[in-house]
Structures are given as C-alpha cells and as structure tokens.
Chain A
Amino acid sequence: MADARSEILGRIAAAQPDRDGVAIPREYRRSRDYRDVVELFTERVAEYQACVHRATPPETIGALLRARGLRRIAVPADVPPDWLVDGIDWQPVEGRPDIEQLAGCDGALTGCALAIAETGTIVLDAGAAQGARAVTLIPDYHLCVVRPEQIVGTVPEAIAALPPTRPLTFISGPSATSDIELDRVAGVHGPRTLDVLIG
C-alpha cells in the first residue's frame, strides 16, 4: 500500500486533470480615503470596550496603572526605559517567559508592531518592546502603547507591512465571546481589560 502522502497527492492529480491557473481579480480596495487614521483608530478601538487614551506615554503609564490599582506589571526587557515609571513593581521578561511568573502579574505593558484604524486592531509581532506572545495573554490586563505613525488605514495595508514568519497576534479589544446567544460579551481567557495609549 502506498504511503498516505503519495496516495493523497495521487488522488488530487486524478481529481483535477484541468490545471489552468485561475486569474484572481483584486479589484477590492487596498487603501481607503480616511481623513484621520488616528481619530478613526481611537473610535473603533473604543467600540470594543477598550479604553483609549491620547497622551504622552511615561506620565500616563503611571497614572493609568495606579488608577486601576495594578502593582506588579510584566514588561518586555527592551521597552523604552522612560516607560518604567516609579511606584510600579516591574517584572522584566526576556526570551521564553516563565508562565508562573506571568500568572503572578497584575498586567502587562508592551508596544506593538502596527495598528489598523478601520478595524480597531493592534498587531504584535514579538519584535521590539513586545516580548513573547504569552506576555500579553496570561496577565488579566494589557496596556499597549501605539505610536501615531504605527497606525495604518486598512487590513491590506497591514498585511503588506507585517513579517509573515514571525509569530503574530492581532488584538481587537479585550478577550470576548459570542458563544452565548451570538452576542459579544467581553472577558474570557485573555486579558479582560485592554488600555490603548496613543502617543
């Protein structure tokens, strides 16, 4: 008996004698005429029940965390040093994270790779100031800093700018579910609270 791989490939060849390629019509929009992507992003993120703040990072970081009563915060080791404001128990994470350490944190602070205005999405690619994927998953709170110039308008613009073979996470609002009566409610396994700081 042939092995599974050759048998499956053989079945496909037999099923599809006609091998002409298909022309793909890409007449959809790659970009849209959005007047102000920062404004649009702010609006759309807020619609997911995330809190959006437009302010300068270092001062606002401390104020946000204190207002929420959060003390122990996981942070990738390569965030800008001025983010590490006084009065917070910073837990630097480098390389493969210790899951139990993350589980003991009240929240995480990261940057991002880019953001998509149209869909209110933040994308992380495990690059600078983002850490491994678990950092923004295990703690119950995520504060994400987005620089205005990181915001693109549309999904096609984001896909074109992202590195496909890095681990990517698209985040649109806090963890949620539509599994009860097909209506979105926030707060399941990922962070139940998402703050986005644009600045």
Chain B
Amino acid sequence: MAARNPVTWLGSPTFPAAARTALDDSQLRRNLKHATGTIRTKRAAAVSELDDWEQLRLAGEAIKNEVLTRLDTYLVQFEEAVTARGGVVHWARDAAEANQIVLRLARQAGAGDVVKVKSMATAEIELNEALQAGGVTAIETDLAELIVQLGNDRPSHILVPAIHRNRAEIREIFRRTMPDVDAGLSDNPAELAGAAREFLRRKFLTTNVAVSGANFGVAETGSVVVVESEGNGRMCLTVPETLITVMGLEKLVPSWRDLEVFLQLLPRSSTAERMNPYTSVFTGVTEGDGPRQFHLVLLDNGRTSTLADEVGRQALRCIRCSACLNVCPVYERTGGKAYGSVYPGPIGAILAPQLAGDMHDPHAASLPYASSLCGACFEACPVRIDIPEVLVHLRERSVEAKGRSPESAAMAAAAWMFGSRARYEAAQRAGSLARFVAPRGKLSHLPWPGSKWTNARDVPVPPKESFRGWWRRNRG
C-alpha cells in the first residue's frame, strides 16, 4: 500500500463543510474581494494589450498537448541534455521518494538549513515537513510563503499563498516572529517588503543549499526556467553551492522556441504584468557562475495516473498562473483553504483529486463540486483547460466510486449536458422557459435528459438570467 498523497491535507473536511466555515469569516472575504478585484482589473488590461492573445492561448494549449502526448520521449531527451551539462537527474514516483532524495542530497551537502524558492511541487509533497523530520530546516524566501511559514499557516492561493492576509495582519505576524524587526514597523507594503529583505539577507549569503521548483524545462536544451518577482529566486539559484530543483514531470516544453509563447502567457495571466521582474534560465552547471552542484528531481506523484484519464489529463497543461482562482466566484467567497489542498480554486478542484487518485476519499471526491460551472475559469485559462468539462467528468467518477445507482445514471446525463458548452447553455435556456411552467418553488421533474437528474434530486427554479450570463456581463 502506497503512502497517502499529501497533495490533499490529511483530515480536511469536505468542501461544502469547509466552505460554510469560511463564509463566516468576513475579514477573509473582504481581503479576498479586494485582492482578486485588483488583479482582475489589471489582468484584463494586460491581456487586451496583445491582439493575438487567443492565438497565443491556442499555441500554448497545443504545445502542452504535444508534451503530454510524448511525455516519455521528452523526459528522456531532457534528462540527457541536463546530464550532458553537468546536472544529475533523479526520478521520484511519489512524494515520499522525492522527499527522501532531497533530504539525502541536503545531508550530503552538510546542510542544516536550506533556502527555498517558492515552488508548488515542493509544497505539494510537503517537503518542508519531511526535511524538518530529517533534521534540516527549510527557509521559505518568497514573501508570501514566508508569511505563511512565520504565521504557522496554510497556503490559500497558488501565486500568493498569503492572499488571505491583509497588510495589517502581515505586520502583526512580522512583529511577532522576526527577532530583530523594528518595533515601529508600519503596514506600508514597501516597509513590509523591506523587513523581509533584512530578515533573509544573511541567510541568502551564507546558506549552502537551495531548493527550487521550475516553471518550465526545455527538453531540447535541458534548460530550466524560474519565473519570479522578488529576486529571492535569483538568490537561491546563484549564491548557494548546491541547487536541488524539484520539477513535476509535466513542466516540460519541447523546444527553446516554445518559451516565446509561455513568457507572454504566464506573466500577463499571473501577476497581470507585461513581464514579471525576474526570469532566470539555467542549463546544468556553468563554470564560474552559480552552483557547482545541480540536482534535478523529476516528480510523478499522481501525474502519470492523471495522464491516463483522457478527459482529466488536460489539467496537466496547467502553468500555475492562478488566473482561474482570481476570476472564480466560489474561490472569492470561500478562500483557498476550504479546498484542503495546496492547489485551491478551479484548477485545484480538478488537479488535487486527480493527483490524490482516490475518489473514495470523501474530501477529494467533494472537490469537483466546488464550482457553479460558470465557465469564467476556462475563459481566463492561458492554456485553455476546460475546467468545467473536467469538473463534471470527475463528479461522474466520484459517483461511480460510490457504486452504480440512479444517481450515477443521472450524473452521466448531467456530464453529457455539461460536457459541451452549447448543450449546457441550451439546457439553461430551456430552464428559463421552465419559469413560466413553475413560477415558484422547486421543479420536481425536467424533460429528458434533465429527467435523469431530477429523478434523483429537486432542481431549484432557474433564475431569469443564468449565472453564467450574469457573471459574463458583470465580470467578463
């Protein structure tokens, strides 16, 4: 029996239960509304500046599909290129194996501390906890990760794990946990960033081992790309003697040229900038510049089983920009922690249960229901992941896991209906007609194929305007 996959947090309540608790926290809702509102406006501007945005999305989608189609070939090519340039490649089937490899390498380098660049892969495998158990302390150097770490907290957003904290709360965490912090520290963001700079400066200059993730790996050249803002990434990638990079299998792109697509899609989708402040590209070890030892850990941890699902595999195209979180009406209200995974929001609702690979787990099985299927996530996704389609597909799988029942037949019909935008919108328009039939209360039966759904549950009367329509009009 394999160990439990830590991509979902042990003991998490199901999404509806966690969402109810989160909705009681009005401070959380205010913080999220402010932050996601800010980024939505900025992103719309950054995207509208490029008149070929849709062509870039189509290229991004196809490049990632090509990688997934021949993933084994590209991985072997990448391994050869990294090795030829002086790197050492390791393969890890699951979280436990990846953690053991990193711990062993850190110990071999004689490290008591390692500095870390923000990385979803290492958060997914709970590397920090595993290193701590092995006597090695991981120091998060990304500002938001540092806020989460110092606050002994959980992450709630892919890009900004501390998005649930406002400036006043961050000041309190810094005052409480940073030993030499100025007692008069204000909640001015520039001052808070300055405090983080002071706190981490000596650690960057004196720590011998760094751990990073990777945004992209180029199969053709063996190059690794790390996209960041603060310079903490550059510090970790260039100052320590040993660098250990943990990279999900699916992070590859076939050729160098493909970066011309992703270096446009990612910053504009993610932080809504024309370009993020720093992007580093390195290939193996370079004489006289940067680390002398480079280890690359290729991580499976549920990715190959996700690849085996024809509908679900598109989640592996994800470049972790977090645009889908920022446009999601459910995420904006519940926050990220309600999802009980390091991957929250719409992408988390399809990625976390697939990586976890256990639809018998009530928490994982509840995640595909964390959505109103409004479709805003698909429209924001730079690699065109049809998140609503995968959500419905996984709902079907979660019902199947419970065994055949009238409900599973209804779910299959719903999957068919939700499976295409045209069918879903047609069904909604049919639903608007239903208002004339049943102006109050619940509908107890719908015509086929809706009948397969209403046989198992009542349906509230559809509103005059569909939510998808409303959302598009107000937020699109």
Contacts and interface: CB of A to CB of B under 8 A. Distances in A.
A170 B75 contact: no
18 contacts: A4-B92, A8-B75, A8-B91, A12-B75, A20-B69, A21-B70, A27-B59, A156-B260, A165-B283, A168-B281, A169-B278, A175-B277, A178-B229, A180-B193, A181-B31, A181-B35, A182-B35, A189-B197
B160 A178 contact: yes
Interface stretch (B7-15, B285-293, B442-450, B452-460): B285-293
Interface of B: 31, 34-36, 38-39, 51-52, 55-56, 58-59, 62-63, 65-66, 68-72, 75-76, 85, 90-93, 97, 141-144, 147, 159-160, 162-163, 166-167, 170, 189-190, 192-194, 196-197, 200-201, 204-205, 218, 221-223, 229-232, 234-235, 237-239, 249, 256-257, 259-261, 263-264, 271, 273-284, 286, 288-290, 298, 300, 304-305, 307-308, 313, 326
A28 B261 contact: yes
B278 A171 contact: yes
A15 B72 CA distance: 11
B200 A119 contact: no
A186 interface: yes
Contact of B238 (A5, A20, A137, A174): A137
Query: What is the predominant secondary structure among interface residues of chain A facing chain B?
Result: loop
Residue from B277, B281, B298 whose CB has the most chain A CB atoms within 10 Å: B277
A174 B234 contact: no
A178 to B, nearest CB: 5
A24 interface: yes
A164 B281 contact: yes
Contact of B231 (A119, A120, A168, A175): A175
A166 interface: yes
B235 A137 contact: yes
Interface string A1-30: 001110111011111101111111111111
A132 B287 CA distance: 10
A56 to B, nearest CB: 28
Given A16-B68, A155-B264, A185-B189, A171 B167 contact: no
Contacts of B38: 181-183
B78 to A, nearest CB: 12
Q: Which 5 A-B pairs have the closest CB atoms?
A: A190-B231, A188-B230, A189-B231, A11-B304, A15-B308
Given A24-B66, A172-B277, A190 B205 contact: no
A121 interface: yes
A179 B59 contact: no
A46 interface: no
B205 A99 contact: yes
B275 A172 contact: yes
A68 interface: no
B223 A165 contact: yes
Contacts of A96: 288-289
Given A8-B249, A180-B143, A25 B62 contact: yes
Contacts of B263: 155, 159, 170
B282 A167 contact: yes
Given A168-B280, A184-B271, A25 B229 contact: no
B66 to A, nearest CB: 4
Contacts of B76: 9
A90 to B, nearest CB: 20
A166 B222 CA distance: 11
Nearest to A178: B271
A141 to B, nearest CB: 13
B55 A181 contact: no
Given A12-B72, A132-B290, A159-B260, 12 more contacts: A3-B91, A11-B308, A133-B290, A134-B289, A159-B263, A165-B283, A171-B278, A172-B277, A176-B229, A179-B147, A180-B193, A182-B160
A143 interface: no
B72 A13 contact: yes
A187 interface: yes
A28 B59 contact: yes
A1 to B, nearest CB: 10
A184 B76 CA distance: 39
Query: What is the predominant secondary structure among interface residues of chain B facing chain A?
Result: helix
Contacts of A165: 85, 221-223, 283-284
A91 to B, nearest CB: 17
A100 interface: yes
A150 interface: no
Contacts of A95: 288
A164 B278 CA distance: 16
A134 B239 CA distance: 7
A142 to B, nearest CB: 11
A164 B221 contact: yes
Given A159-B257, A160-B257, A179 B141 contact: no
A184 B51 CA distance: 24
Contacts of A137: 231, 234-235, 238
A19 B73 CA distance: 11
Contacts of B232: 188-189
A8 B304 contact: yes
A27 B31 CA distance: 40
B288 A181 contact: no
A95 B288 CA distance: 5
Contacts of A168: 279-282
Nearest to A174: B277
Contacts of A18: 69
A5 B88 CA distance: 13
Nearest to B192: A180
A23 B62 CA distance: 7
Contacts of B221: 164-165
B277 A103 contact: no
A189 B200 contact: yes
B337 to A, nearest CB: 17
B415 to A, nearest CB: 21
A19 to B, nearest CB: 7
Nearest to A157: B260
Contacts of A170: 263, 275, 278-281
A7 B356 CA distance: 18
